[in-house]
Structures are given as structure tokens and as C-alpha cells.
Structure 1
Amino acid sequence: MDKIERFKIFCLVAEKQSFAKVANQLDLPRSSITYAVQSLEKEYEVLLLNRTTRKVNLTNDGVLFYQEVRQLIFQSEKLNQFKLQNREHVGQIRIGLPIRMATQYLIPHLSEFYQQYPKVKVLIHSSDDFSNLLEERLDCVVRVGNVMENHFIVRPIAKADLYTVVSKKYLSNNPHSIHIDQLHNHFIVGYQVENTYFGLSELVFQDRQIELPYQLVVEDTESYLKAGLQGLGIFQIPDFDAIPLIQEQELIRVLEEEKCLKLEINFLFLERKYRPAYFQYFIKWLESLLKNKLSNLI
């Protein structure tokens, strides 16, 4: 018998002014009803009920105790609504992921998830900076890139190559060949997610990094891709973004002789023992969606 049950029994005894009536109502031995009240009196070191052979009533302390306990019971019953909501799959999911992954993959297919769980709200925190699970109160994050934090639960989704690409417009405006030894004749599209700017930015490969000057620096992937397509410099994007544009002949892959940097794509979670069924389904659904989309492109 937990404490809330003992509180409820005490309140019934106070209201009916009888141990026997409460025992009959709950179909419990009278000794169980007596134990529930006595254990509360012992724990809180207070006499709650005056007992006579004919009547039971509250002491002065018992009246105050009864008022407080009724509030606790009310609050516990409100909290039990969460159990009901989870059984009915009512709730919300807060997820952080890169902007293009949100716009290109999650949002266009979210109606599929709602067919299974129409009462679940999904709150998307889309950002190209690393989302902070604690500060932004997120349930999970999709991270593209290595995970440095060791206090998160990491669940791998896939890996992607970082392609080096240019647009046709860039090639037509730059007569110099794009070779590793000729890069001093070229510009890069600068990309920076923090408010620190230098005169150079980097092309990043598996075995080395090469600094190049830029004419433009941006702070989000949509602007970065748009700048690259407008011919404002050499740039690097994950293969799942690059391949469709290469197939449509909007981009050309360059420096293929250099080994691509491998990008890890992971779910990140805080350590939690319990997750609602709708959340577990969402993660499996999104994982399957991303794996399917990425494998079809590569």
C-alpha cells in the first residue's frame, strides 16, 4: 500500500467517521484501514483522529492534515492524466535537426507519421548550429558531424561523404582549372556558424584541410547552397544534398582525387529510462525514412 493509497483511506475515514464503513466500501480488512491511518500518524508524529467506541472524528491537527492531503490527492490524480494521455498517444515531440534535413526530408513526409499518431504534436527546432538538448528542452537531435559530448546517448543513422562542388556559372567565370595545386586562383564560399570571421575559410578532406580566400561568408546551409549555385565560390555539401543537383547538372563535382571527409549522422538523446510509445515509434519511423532517402541517393 503506497502513501497516496493511505492518504485516500485516511480521507475516507475522516469523511465517513468510521473505520468499519470504509473497510466495507473498499472490501478490505478493518485491520488494513487501521494500519493505513496509524502508519500516517506514526510517520508524521501527529494524532489525526479521535477514536471512541461510537464515533471517529478529526483532531485539530487532523483537520489541517486532511486539507493538505486532499490537495495532494488532487494533484496526483492530475498527474495520472499523463498515463491516460500516453495510452491514447497524446503528447508532443521536440526534435532538433539541420535546416535542410528538416525541409527536405522530415516535413515533406510528416503526414505519414500523423496517420499513425494524429494526436501527437511535433515541434521542430531547425538550426545549422548544434542544438542544445538541455537548454532548448529537446527530446532528441539529429546531428550531422562527429559527436564530441560523451554525456548523450548516441544512435547511429548513416554516414555521408562531404562532396566538393561548383556550379557551371562558377566555371564559366573562372578560367583556371580546379586542381589541388591551382586552388590559389579560386575563391571558396565561406561558411561560419559562430560570430568569428577571418579572411580565409577551409575545404576539408579526410587527410587534410586547405585554406582559401572567400568573397562571401554565410551562416546557414540554405544561403550557403544558394551562394554556391550562383557561382560565388567552391563549396562542400553532403552527398545526399549534392547528388540530386549533380544529376540535374546544376553542380559539378571537383577534386575527386581527394578522399572525402566522412560525416556521421546520429540521433542524440538525453539519458532517459522511459519514453512514450509514440516517441519510440517516431524515432524508428524517422530513422527508416532517413536511411531510405540517403541510400536511394548514394
Structure 2
Amino acid sequence: MDRLDCMQSFVRVVETGSFSAVARECNTTQPTISKQIAALEAYLDVQLLTRSTRKLQLTQEGERFFEHCQALLDAAAEAIASVGQRQNPSGTLRVNCPVAFGQYQVIPYLKGFLERYPDLKLALTMSDRVVDLVGEGIDLAIRIGTVNDPTLIAHRIGVTRRVTVASTAYFRDLQEPKTPEALVEHNCLVYARLATGNEWHFQRPTGETTQVTVTGNLQVDSSTAIREAVLSGLGIAVCPVWLLGDLIQSEQLQVILKAYQPTPLPIHVVYRRGRFIPAKVRCFIEYFTNEFELNPWVSDDGMQPIAAQLTR
């Protein structure tokens, strides 16, 4: 029995609450993970977990052992990292990001990233929900907006600048709004996962902020669906420039309320708070920070690609 492997399995079972989830992570079977935990309990001569059909629960001895295992595994990983700086990072890096952002702003960079780090494998999941990094075994996630989770470290890698847009077809029989307050007279397409919901925030030309509660006949939890809906002429939307800048440049969509910029949102890489940053996480952060500084869609100059339409 490799005690370190068993301890790693034990920690992940506690964190995920599932033998099956850990088996999937380790590309093995649920009985194998169960045998590792049983072997650990036999070696220690204590019961670490109580099992029921609904949940797993740590015993008192299991709680103490779990804390020591976490510290020991962190120390082991830190020791390995401390003498491996000159080596290429290796293993599997598990990354999560929003669907549309991954499609338009992450996937195009992966070839260069993996060519630079040939010993790394990337396991990318894309979801618009906020994932539990610990519970789902994710090394890092890209999140757009403010990060308030004290268990995570957030590293800013870019900014999402947004615009208010509609199609020419939408304004065929309607008058273009001149102020944010005029949006209440229009059909507004709401992205359900936006933190402020149907309350849209704008910066006035004077620098002051204002918010408007909008309404419309479509609320959807997919930003790519918002892209298609606004393109079809269904209504007005507030969207990131990286999501539909190509449609603005080709004049399939028009920017409105040009003097009122929707509040920008920071782009962060987040990872679990710990004693050190694994090399594979550090190299991902460094690579995308450098690339995004040169990417006009997500850099501080994020309005530059559509500047021509903004000045008309």
C-alpha cells in the first residue's frame, strides 16, 4: 500500500464527498478507492469515515487525520516544486472557464500554451455556473467579475469592457434610446448570470454611475444565446466587446448609448488558497497575463477595436 496515494485519495473523498468522483479523477474504479480508504483505516486501526446511502461523514479521528493529511500533502507538493523550478511543469492542469469566454478568448491561445509546456496536459471544462474548485478537483478557474470567496486567491489577467448593442433590424420601427433611462421603453435581453440581474449599470459622461431596471421577453443563462438573440433583432443587450466585437466591426450590430459605458468587469484567474502556487498553475497565469496584455478585446484598451463606431 502506498500510504501517500491512500492519503491523497482520502483527502479528495472528503473534499468531494464521493468515492465515485475521486475514481473518475484518478481514472480508476470506485472499489479501488474504497479499498485504499479501508487499507488506510486498517493500518491506523481507526475508523475515518462513516458511510450512509446519502453522505459521508468524518469521525473525530478522521477530522484530525484529514487536517494532518492536508498539511503533509501541501508540504510534499511544495518540496517537489522547490527543486523542480528548472524543469517544465508536467501532469494534468484542470481548468474551468465560462463557455463563451473559453470559446472566443481561451481556446485560440491553447496551441501556443501547450507548445510552450509540452509536458502538460490540459483538462478544460466550460460552464457558466460558478464551480466548486475543491469539490470538483479544479486547479484554477477563469471568472469574470468581482471575486468575494475568501478561500480563493484571485489574480487579475484582463478586463471585460462592455457595450450596449442592437441590430439595425430592431430599430427599423423604433427610435434609438439616447439615455439609459430610455431603455425602459425597449425590449431588453437579460443575461441571467449577471450579478446585477436586470439592473444595468452605466457610467455617465460626468463620471457618475447610474443604474436602470430593464425588462424584456427573454432572460437566458447563456451569453452565446444573447449574442444570437441580439443579432436576430429580438432586442437590446449589454454585452462584452470580446463576445460580439466582430459583429460590431462588420456593422451587423450597432453600438448605442455611446456616451454611457456599462461598468467594466475584471477578469480573474482564481485558485485555491494554499501555502504555494503549483508550477502548472503559475505558468498558466503568467502565459495568459502576458497574452491578454496584447489582446485588444480584453486589455485595458478593450474599446480600441471598435473605436470607429464609437466616434460616429
Does the pair score TM above 0.5? yes
SS of the residue 1:222 aligns to: helix
Query: Structure 2 CA distance, aligned partners of 1:209 and 1:101?
Result: 25
Instruction: Please point out which of 256, 263, 272 is paired with 1:261.
Output: 263
| Deviations 1:36-59 (CA, angstroms, capped at 9, x unpaired) | xxxxxxxxxxxxxxxxxxxxxxxx
Using the TM superposition, give the Cα deviation of residue 276 of structure 1 relative to its aligned residue in structure 2, in angstroms: 4.0
Indicate the residue corresponding to 1:177 in structure 2.
176
Q: Say whether 1:92 aligns with 2:92.
A: yes
Instruction: Please point out which of 285, 288, 298 is paired with 1:286.
Output: 288
Query: Structure 1 CA distance, aligned partners of 2:142 and 2:291?
Result: 13
After TM superposition, where is structure 1 displaced by more than 6 Å over at least 4 residues in a row? none
Indicate the residue corresponding to 1:250 in structure 2.
252
Do 1:153 and 1:268's aligned partners in 2 also have CA atoms closer than 8 Å? yes
Structure 2 gap segments, 5+ residues each:
1-75, 204-208, 304-312
- Number of residue pairs aligned between Structure 1 and Structure 2: 213
Using the TM superposition, give the Cα deviation of residue 119 of structure 1 relative to its aligned residue in structure 2, in angstroms: 3.0
| Deviations 1:132-188 (CA, angstroms, capped at 9, x unpaired) | 22222211111111112233212112233221111112122x422322353333101
Indicate the residue corresponding to 2:160 in structure 1.
160
Structure 1 counterpart of 2:125, which letter?
H
Query: Structure 1 CA distance, aligned partners of 2:248 and 2:222?
Result: 21
SS of the residue 1:246 aligns to: helix
SS of the residue 1:214 aligns to: coil
Do 1:205 and 1:261's aligned partners in 2 also have CA atoms closer than 8 Å? yes
Indicate the residue corresponding to 1:125 in structure 2.
125
Where do residues 4-153 of structure 1 align in structure 2 (5 Å cutoff)?
Answer: 87=87, 89-153=89-153
Using the TM superposition, give the Cα deviation of residue 297 of structure 1 relative to its aligned residue in structure 2, in angstroms: 4.8
Do 1:97 and 1:131's aligned partners in 2 also have CA atoms closer than 8 Å? no
Structure 2 counterpart of 1:109, which letter?
Y
Using the TM superposition, give the Cα deviation of residue 234 of structure 1 relative to its aligned residue in structure 2, in angstroms: 0.6
SS of the residue 1:205 aligns to: strand
Query: Structure 2 CA distance, aligned partners of 1:83 and 1:183?
Result: 57
Instruction: Please point out which of 214, 233, 236 is paired with 2:235.
Output: 233
Query: Structure 1 CA distance, aligned partners of 2:90 and 2:183?
Result: 55
Query: Structure 1 CA distance, aligned partners of 2:89 and 2:258?
Result: 48
Query: Structure 2 CA distance, aligned partners of 1:263 and 1:89?
Result: 31
Do 2:143 and 2:268's aligned partners in 1 also have CA atoms closer than 8 Å? yes
Do 1:178 and 1:254's aligned partners in 2 also have CA atoms closer than 8 Å? yes
Structure 2 counterpart of 1:144, which letter?
I
Indicate the residue corresponding to 1:205 in structure 2.
202
Do 1:155 and 1:268's aligned partners in 2 also have CA atoms closer than 8 Å? yes
Percentage identity across paired residues of the two chains = 25
Query: Structure 1 CA distance, aligned partners of 2:140 and 2:217?
Result: 36
Structure 1 gap segments, 5+ residues each:
1-78, 195-199
Measured at CA, do residues 276 and 257 of structure 1 come closer, stay the same or move farther in structure 2, by a change above 3 Å?
Answer: closer
Query: Structure 2 CA distance, aligned partners of 1:204 and 1:167?
Result: 21
Indicate the residue corresponding to 1:12 in structure 2.
none
Instruction: Please point out which of 213, 216, 225 is paired with 1:214.
Output: 216
Computing the radius of gyration from Cα coordinates, the structure with the larger value is: 1
Query: Structure 1 CA distance, aligned partners of 2:185 and 2:128?
Result: 29
Query: Structure 1 CA distance, aligned partners of 2:150 and 2:243?
Result: 28
Query: Structure 2 CA distance, aligned partners of 1:187 and 1:248?
Result: 23
Measured at CA, do residues 88 and 183 of structure 1 come closer, stay the same or move farther in structure 2, by a change above 3 Å?
Answer: closer
TM-score, scaled relative to structure 2: 0.61
Query: Structure 2 CA distance, aligned partners of 1:132 and 1:224?
Result: 25
Do 1:154 and 1:266's aligned partners in 2 also have CA atoms closer than 8 Å? yes
Do 2:104 and 2:243's aligned partners in 1 also have CA atoms closer than 8 Å? no
Comparing 201-210 with 260-269, greater Cα deviation is found at: 201-210
Measured at CA, do residues 121 and 201 of structure 1 come closer, stay the same or move farther in structure 2, by a change above 3 Å?
Answer: same
SS of the residue 2:229 aligns to: helix
Do 1:117 and 1:278's aligned partners in 2 also have CA atoms closer than 8 Å? no
Indicate the residue corresponding to 1:61 in structure 2.
none
